Structure 1
Amino acid sequence: MPNDIPEPQAVYAPITRSAIFIVATLVDGDAHADTVRAWCADVAALVRSVGKRVPSGNLSCVVGFASDAWDRLFGAPRPAQLHPFREFGPGERRAIATPGDILLHIRADQMDLCFELATQLIGRLGEAVMVVDEVQGFRYFDLRSMVGFVDGTENPTGREAVDFTMIGDEDPEFTAGSYVLVQKYIHDMKGWNALPVETQERIIGRTKLSDIELDDAVKPTSSHSSLTTLVENGQEVKILRDNMPFGRPGSGEFGTYFIGYARSPEPIEKMLENMFVGRPPGNYDRLLDFSRAATGGLFFVPSAPLLETLADRNPQPDSSHGSASPAAPSETLASAEPRVDGSLNIGSLKGTAQYE
């Protein structure tokens, strides 16, 4: 990576055996906002301190902020494409938006490292936030998802991963940042496991045992792999996934925590539109007959040096930037549908096609 590009957060951290995903909302009050801003300068040091206990443990943490939280905490300038989570789909088959201002994506090869870091990070935030979702994920055999198929096979690697996930000259004030979208899916494993393997493979678009993509001649256009494959100007557009299974067998809960990183929210949102609405409409992802999206949030991940300097950010809005301006893109989008009142202010927007 060129020396003049800021160091990104640990978006490209190696695949680990354990993860903790935490979504929190901000508590009202200027003092609480001050606590969160000061905390931004402490994150990297806490990761180093806990990680030193097991140097080979690959401990990392990525911190992201939702649209309205950014405005409240840091003001202008704001990331150009940061907006509230957009909802997609009809009725019960819907990608829903749920409350969330701050995302923590903690990874390590040992759960005790994840647990200790989460304890330290949340402890520093104290009463400034309220945790609204916390999921402990685990590696399932050879990177299998909860439904039994290998997950993340088509992830970009190396330079390609950087190109698809790191903001560049298109938003120079936020170079080396990323966008991250998260959803918690709950699976009907009884119904899924009742299907023949061949039917499951046609729904996913890959073979279950060998993880080979089905030939286009036999792969349905409604398969998961078909609908999440995007091509623009003859080139495939990719995102970086680090999904993790989770569950509580005693409670009958089996799920997948989806987390996708990209340099723009557009490709992830287009994938969700294809899955939940269909391509064309009605030709939706049949995996959703057995999987329900229980949460949804979009966050901006600042570069590592920017995260530290956010502690000193003046939160007063600048009329020349961002959502503080009446002409801001995110506010224009948000006007399309009602938004939740209050400090969370989570949007509920219809998806619009980003690729023709």
Structure 2
Amino acid sequence: MDDQTWARAPIEPQSVNAPLSSAAVFLVVTIERAAAAALVVREVISDIGGLVRTVGFRDLGGRLSCNVGIGAEAWSRFDQAAKPEQLDRFHAIPGPVHTAVSTPGDLLFHIRAERADLCFELERLILDKLGDAVTVVDEVQGFRYFDARDLLGFVDGTENPTGQSMAEASLIGDEDPEFAGGSYVVVQKYLHDLAAWGGLTTEQQESIIGRSKIDNVEREDDEPASAPRKSHRSLNTIVDENGVEQAILRDNMPFGRPGHGEFGTYFIGYARKVWVIDHMLRRMFIGDPVGEYDRILDFSKAVTGSSYFVPSIQTLEALAPEE
């Protein structure tokens, strides 16, 4: 059986590969320690599709969806005989100047729609069902900013795979057959210093990002010996031992509260191979070569970091407690 067997199997992934949306909610919660809390959580997330249909039926054109991610510690509390091979907590990555922090999170709800009110209503129902079984540790409302730009002014997600490559990069295959159709996801919340970023020239910003700001064209200035450090684009280009470029699926969203001086990007990366995201982050925070970290981190601070397994719909539904 080859690596594409998952595509022929009767397995339905969650909406990992859904199109980019206009609005999103990123909700991270922890599960209370009582055994009963884990049972409540299993009952709710195993029927997440029912809640999505309840809200989404009000506007089928709103394309409401919700991916549920389960953290390593939470999975260990769900009385499952097997564990996804690559599931682990997010480990902090301390660099010479900046750190990719690790923060609590047992469950991730990635809610997407073309209407913010659909996201709001689904989040409300989810939290109502979960009740005091969970504690919210992070909640971000994201929005699509002009032509898919981040608040730094650059187009975000250009290197996302498309077509069949999207599924190949994001969905588990025969390498872990019991969890085929699932995915791994890493999330980080970055806060931007827009005043400091705005103090740079456009050319300086483009050198840091590795693309032109207006027309989103890749710069080719990383290679010459005179180039000042690798760009964000270059550091996030990962190749394996065979020289094959590896991809992940991003669905980053800007967020902000101007009245509080809060401006940021919520990074969310789905991957079939967790090591690809880990390698990206190590290159960003530690540097390549070591010490020459991603200069974007001088203006964007990571304030959260957690990772999850996103099971197939069949695996998620099978988490329902036995009656």
Amino acid at match of 2:268: I
Q: Distance in 1 between matches of 2:11 and 2:229?
A: 41
Q: Distance in 1 between matches of 2:8 and 2:125?
A: 31
| C-alpha distance after superposition, 1:138-196 (max 9, x if no partner) | 00000001111000001001100100111011101100000000000001100000100
Contact in 1 for aligned 2:96/2:286 (Cα 8 Å): no
Evaluate the alpha carbon distance shift between residue 255 and residue 169 of structure 1 in structure 2; reply closer, same or farther with a 3 A threshold.
same
Distance 2:312 2:270 in 1: 13
SS of 1:182's partner is strand
Pair 1:132-2:140 in alignment: no
Task: Give the match's secondary structure for 2:267.
Answer: strand
Look up the SS of the partner of 1:260 in the other structure: strand
Aligned residue identity for 1:126: G
Paired with 1:46 and 1:133, the residues of 2 have a C-alpha distance of 21
- Which deviations, in whole Å up to 9, do the C-alpha atoms of 1:230-250 show, x marking residues without a partner? 112122100000000000101
Match of 1:34 among 34, 39, 42: 39
Alignment of 1:24 onto 2:29:
yes
What is residue 186 of structure 2 aligned with on the other side? 181
Contact 1:205 1:220 in 2 (8 A): no
Deviation at 1:2, TM superposition (A): 4.1
For residue 254 of structure 2, the aligned residue among 236, 245, 251 is 245
- Counting only pairs closer than 5 Å after superposition, residues 334-349 of structure 1 correspond to structure 2 as none
Alignment counterpart, residue 83 of structure 1, candidates 88, 97, 104: 88
Q: Secondary structure at the match of 1:310?
A: coil
Q: 1:224 aligns with which of 224, 228, 232?
A: 232
Instruction: Look up the SS of the partner of 1:272 in the other structure.
Output: helix
Displacement after TM superposition at 1:41 (Å):
2.3
How far residue 4 of structure 1 moved from its aligned partner, in angstroms, is: 2.0
Q: CA deviation at 1:11?
A: 0.3
In structure 2, the partner of 1:118 is 123
Matches within 5 A, 1:130-169: 130-169=135-174
* Residue matched to 1:236: 245
* 1:207-236 per-position Cα deviation (integer Å, ceiling 9, x unaligned): 000000001456654210010001121221
After alignment, is 186-195 or 2-11 more displaced?
2-11
Give a deviation string over 1:12-53, Cα, whole Å, max 9, x none. 111111000000000011111110111122200111111110
Cα distance, 1:4–1:48 mapped onto 2, change above 3 Å: same
In the alignment, structure 2 segments of 5+ residues that lack a partner are 1-5
The CA deviation string for residues 306-339 of structure 1, in whole angstroms up to 9 with x for no partner, is: 101111479xxxxxxxxxxxxxxxxxxxxxxxxx
Q: What does residue 66 of structure 2 align with? A: 61
Change (3 A) 1:31 1:290: same
Counterpart CA distance in 2 for 1:289 and 1:302 is: 35
Q: How many residues align?
A: 314
Q: CA RMSD in A?
A: 1.5
- Cα separation, partners in 2 of 1:52 and 1:220, compared to 1, 3 Å: farther
8 Å CA contact 1:246–1:257 kept in 2: the answer is yes
The one-character-per-residue Cα deviations of 1:83-119 (angstroms, maximum 9, x if unpaired) are 1102112365000000110000000010000000101
Hey, what does 2:275 align to over in structure 1? 266
